[in-house]
Structure 1
Amino acid sequence: MTNLAINRRQAIVGLGTAGALTLLGRPAFAASKVKLGVMRLASHAPSYIACERGYYKDEGLDVELEFFEAAQPMAMAIASGDADYAVTAMSGGLVNLAGKGAIKVIGGAVSEEKGVAGAIILASEKAYQAGLTTAKDLNGKSFGITTAGSSFHYMCHKIAEANGIPMSEISLRRLHKVDAIVGALGTGQIDAWAIQGSIANEMLAEGSAKQIGLVSDYAPDYQVTTVLTSTNNAANEREKTEAFITAHSRAIDDYNAAVVDKTATPEEVDEVAKIIHKYVDSDHPFPAAKKIFVGSAMRINTGCALTLESAMNQLVWLKEEKMVSETIRAQMLFDISYVETI
């Protein structure tokens, strides 16, 4: 076993042995105004469901949704106090803010899982016709990301690593916003991208991109997004934070049953899809939007559980790429006292 593997295991063990606290039976927290950072993506559905079905209110939380277009601004909003909680991907900027004592990852959200629709690797129509028909063909091609150290950057790394392609042979195009990457791929300004199915399937249906692989083929246990809060909230607002996790977890159960596991009734599937449609692709007819939501749903971890090994792997990668300080330790980034780790 390498020193890196040993250090990773020691760091995980060192996060704490008490385990997750049981939330059942906890009295609701007194009414509190909370700002929650989200993106207009189907994978953020539990936030919408919990708002629309009153789950946050049941826990004494008055939640206001704050919309963002990338992970880094969300992390900065948590650090500055402009948002209380957020659901977003780990990024270099997020980890550096944790190293400064500003934020904590307290749970997990979307994760890749074999057999469940996940992020799809896309090629532009132009690049596909020129020979980019599988992920093995990315050598010498351009790949869209929001920022260095983003989830898109990490997915590209995992794809390249699995196919023996040096990252130096892929041109990373930093476009900052998801909408900008959609436009660049659709017009052939970039060759490839990887994005969750709700966006990918829409582009595929329009004929503006071609599917060349699945991220789950290269990162089957990837913790794509996490639940984030300020260090102050994690340490000093425990009852409020537990209330948020409890409410959000109820909505996760609704989402997974309706569109991932498909154990819900058809009526419940419709109700959940209508809630998502209110916030995502609302300019599309509901039947078409529902088909995309149900056909491209990604697993969201029950109880906001955190796939800690994957999260640790991302921290190690960010250090290896010199995008975060070597001095940042797992204890600075994660507070695993709120949820189970898997």
Structure 2
Amino acid sequence: MAKWMKSGWLLSLVALALLIGACSPKETAGPITDDKTPEKVSVDNPSGDLAPLEKRAKVVIAEDGAASGAGFYIAKERGYFEDYNIEVEFAQFANSDDMLPALAAGEVDIAGGVSTASFFNAISQGIDVKIIADKGHNVPGKSYFTLVIGNHMVDVIKEYKDLKGKRIGVSSHNSIDEYIYDELIKHAGLTKDDVEFVLMSDFGSMLGAISNGTIDAAVNIEPLIAQGIDKGFHVRFGDATDYAPESQIALVLGSPNFMGEEKDISLRFMSAYLKGVRDYNDAFIKGEGKDKIIDIMTKHTALKDPALWEKVNVTGLDPDGKMFIDDIKKQYDAYKANGAIRGEIDFDKAIDTSITEKAVETIGEYDR
């Protein structure tokens, strides 16, 4: 996962052991035994669609306070999980690589991840996790993960081709960060030899580097982009959708057991999650109830300033959970071409959108 997203995932091994030990077997309301969407129930039920579970279930989510977790936070605060008799618990890990074995073992049910070579390598080497829904993409013209140029470059870099000879900060190799960077360079009509790739330790360090002229531009992320603009360090340049229009940046991942054996729980969980995502879209796309959603986001994320939420380009979250699946495969191919992938992936098995699609059938498609 992009480093700014992962920076909060710090948990001691002792705490992790306690967390795993505390995970109890799931209790269900009776399995869904066919491929049809269960009948909707009376709107007198809290959810308004599926009946709540007869016995309470706990779902453990690996989440670090990233803004892309909005659907989880909003669904929790608005009682959408509770409507289905689901209790959610957030767990933190040092990084996404540590998260994957716990997810595959069912110690964590749901997690967020981003495309990296190490993620794909884990799957190709037998880590069984399912890619199930969107957890972050750029909105055209309002990308939250995009290029910025230093204020000292505003009179120099007028077009993408003007990046030739410039130093561009990128936070990691063989990741979505470098993938976006590569697409940028190709769009500019340049080669990797025409620009200087500067590997940065994290997104935050880019602010100081761009302000003192150590780098000329950077592929950075919100809210650091908005903060850097406020401080006069950099400006947004173009938009990432100019050169990577359908990039799948973050993903909702599910454990194989949660997706395969606990469908009565996972279907209700996904229905609640999508309701949260839809409230998020209502707020940031339609402007409906925005203040209340910002209150929830300031409670759960690292961005505590409500005023700054009015300035950032927010993470795109599809209200029906749809992903850019072709782009996921394209990213995998790019890492493989760089020699960073060991083994092969059967994407027909790794990507499982069945629960997401069934949840949309149950609650209806979002009115866009």
For the aligned pair, the TM-score class normalised by the smaller chain equals 0.7 to 0.9
**Residue ranges of structure 1 left out of the alignment (5+ in a row):** 1-19
Paired position in structure 1 for 2:336: 319
Paired position in structure 2 for 1:83: 108
Q: Secondary structure of the equivalent of 1:244?
A: helix
Paired position in structure 1 for 2:172: 147
Paired position in structure 2 for 1:247: 272
What does residue range 155-194 of structure 1 map to in structure 2 within 5 Å? 155-175=180-200, 177-194=202-219
TM-score, with normalisation over the residues of structure 2?
A: 0.74
1:28 and 2:52 equivalent?
Answer: yes
* Equivalent of residue 107 in structure 1, options 133, 142, 147: 133
Paired position in structure 1 for 2:32: none
1:130-156 CA-partner distances (Å, limit 9, x unpaired) = 834543333343433343222211111
> What amino acid maps onto 2:339 in structure 1?
K
Q: CA deviation at 1:122?
A: 0.8
Q: Which has the higher contact order (CA 8 A, sep 6+)?
A: 1
Paired position in structure 1 for 2:228: 203
Q: CA deviation at 1:197?
A: 4.2
Structure with bigger helix share is 1
1:271 and 2:292 equivalent?
Answer: yes
| Residue pair 1:50, 1:251 contacting (<8 A) in 2 also | yes
Paired position in structure 1 for 2:82: 57
* Equivalent of residue 48 in structure 1, options 73, 94, 100: 73
1:297 and 2:321 equivalent?
Answer: no
For the residues of structure 1 that align with 2:108 and 2:193, how far apart are their CA atoms? 36
For the residues of structure 2 that align with 1:71 and 1:184, how far apart are their CA atoms? 26
1:103-139 CA-partner distances (Å, limit 9, x unpaired) = 221111222343445433112345x268345433333
For the residues of structure 2 that align with 1:72 and 1:191, how far apart are their CA atoms? 31
CA RMSD of aligned residues (A): 3.0
With over 3 angstroms needed to count, the CA separation of the structure-2 counterparts of 1:60 and 1:137, relative to structure 1, is farther
* Equivalent of residue 124 in structure 1, options 150, 165, 184: 150
| Residue pair 2:139, 2:241 contacting (<8 A) in 1 also | yes
| Residue pair 1:21, 1:339 contacting (<8 A) in 2 also | no
Paired position in structure 1 for 2:17: none
TM-score, with normalisation over the residues of structure 1?
A: 0.79
For the residues of structure 2 that align with 1:78 and 1:209, how far apart are their CA atoms? 38
Paired position in structure 2 for 1:10: none
For the residues of structure 2 that align with 1:132 and 1:69, how far apart are their CA atoms? 38
> What amino acid maps onto 2:293 in structure 1?
V
Paired position in structure 2 for 1:16: none
Deviates more, 1:110-119 or 1:204-213: 110-119
Deviates more, 1:154-163 or 1:42-51: 42-51
| Residue pair 2:131, 2:252 contacting (<8 A) in 1 also | yes
Paired position in structure 1 for 2:14: none
Q: CA deviation at 1:186?
A: 4.4
1:226 and 2:248 equivalent?
Answer: no
| Residue pair 1:105, 1:335 contacting (<8 A) in 2 also | yes
Q: CA deviation at 1:188?
A: 4.0
Q: Secondary structure of the equivalent of 1:316?
A: helix
| Residue pair 1:70, 1:178 contacting (<8 A) in 2 also | no
Q: Secondary structure of the equivalent of 2:283?
A: helix
| Residue pair 1:245, 1:304 contacting (<8 A) in 2 also | no
Q: CA deviation at 1:322?
A: 2.1
With over 3 angstroms needed to count, the CA separation of the structure-2 counterparts of 1:59 and 1:95, relative to structure 1, is farther
| Residue pair 2:131, 2:253 contacting (<8 A) in 1 also | yes
Equivalent pairs: percent with the same residue? Answer: 23
For the residues of structure 1 that align with 2:189 and 2:111, how far apart are their CA atoms? 35
For the residues of structure 1 that align with 2:64 and 2:218, how far apart are their CA atoms? 18
Aligned residue pair count: 313
Q: CA deviation at 1:207?
A: 0.9
Q: CA deviation at 1:252?
A: 0.5
Q: Secondary structure of the equivalent of 2:168?
A: strand
| Residue pair 2:160, 2:187 contacting (<8 A) in 1 also | no
With over 3 angstroms needed to count, the CA separation of the structure-2 counterparts of 1:181 and 1:33, relative to structure 1, is farther
